[in-house]
Amino acid sequence: MNGKNNIAIGFLTMGAFMAYGFLLIYLRDFAPGKEEWVNNYAVGQHFESRLAHVHGNLFAFLNIVIGYLLLHFHSNLKNARLISWLALAGLLMPVGILAEVYLGASPVFVLLGAISMTASVLWLGISFLKLKTNTAATISN
């Protein structure tokens, strides 16, 4: 895997969390009992749901960017495959938040996803710092 799956899954995940955003708009503006939903704006399930929506789109976008970079630089980066898998595993965070809200799941998935995404971003950053300047210039031409 050289980044293609990160891009594809990133776009699919972004689409899913964008659609979830429409559900949140419905619950806020049109659903029966919307007043109660609005009154609980900053607490409980409402807050957690918005947190999942925001992080889902952010982590999807990060996967798209990471995937693009890995596609172009995978042959010059060590551990590109592992970075790719860590970024994908990062999607466990927003999915884990939704699993907590709707299924009462343990927060372990949230933590695993957060740690995975943070590790992938830091690892990729360090890999680019170690990348030789002439290699980067050669690739961009």
Q: For residue 117, what pLDDT is reported?
A: 98
pLDDT of residue 135: 59
- Pairwise CA distance, residues 38 & 27, whole Å: 9
**pLDDT > 80? residue 139:** no
Model's pTM, two decimal places? 0.90
Residue 137, pLDDT > 60, answer: no
- Separation of alpha carbons 73 and 54, rounded Å: 28
State the chain's mean pLDDT as an integer.
92
Domain ranges of the chain: 4-140
Query: For residue range 84-117, what is the model confidence (pLDDT) as tens digits?
Result: 999 999 999 999 999 999 999 999 999 999 999 9
Return the exposure string of 99-126: e unless at least 16 CB atoms fall within 10 Å of the residue's CB, then b.
Answer: bbbeeeeeeebbeebbebbebbbebbee
